[in-house]
Structure 1
Amino acid sequence: MHATRTPAQAKAWIESQGKSVKDFAEENHLDLHTTYQVLAGTKKGKRGEAHRAAVVLGIKQGSEQ
């Protein structure tokens, strides 16, 4: 089990891979606007697409299904 990231750490992690948020969202089949909202902290990722985005970004632990 790995430690979770903060939204700021998740954004830095994406950038450290040389990717844009748009590229990351497309590669992981995530809604771009929801991904930005999770990274900004306006959506907490409690359910649905926001939860899936938070899990893929490493902000929350859970199943990526």
Structure 2
Amino acid sequence: MRAGTEEVVVTGLGATTPLGGDAAATWAALLAGRSGARALTEEWAAGLPARVAATAAVDPAGVLGRTEA
């Protein structure tokens, strides 16, 4: 090891992206050439100036309790 450097060990990989709820799904979508961008059609987005977004593929309320989401 060179002076002034530190060793790093990667023990896992995680991702919640517009392409998938985990790293494996995101990677598969990337390899398939899919885009995470989509039209915003939900009622909550009606007043927003943007009509296209890349929102998370996981609904936080489905995986977190009400106080955490």
- On whether the aligned pair clears a TM of 0.5, the verdict is no
Bigger RCO of structures 1 and 2 (CA < 8 A, at least 6 apart) = 1
TM-score by length of structure 2 reads 0.27
Which structure dedicates a bigger proportion of its chain to helix? 1
Which of these two proteins has the greater Rg computed from alpha carbons?
2
TM-score, normalised to structure 1, is: 0.29
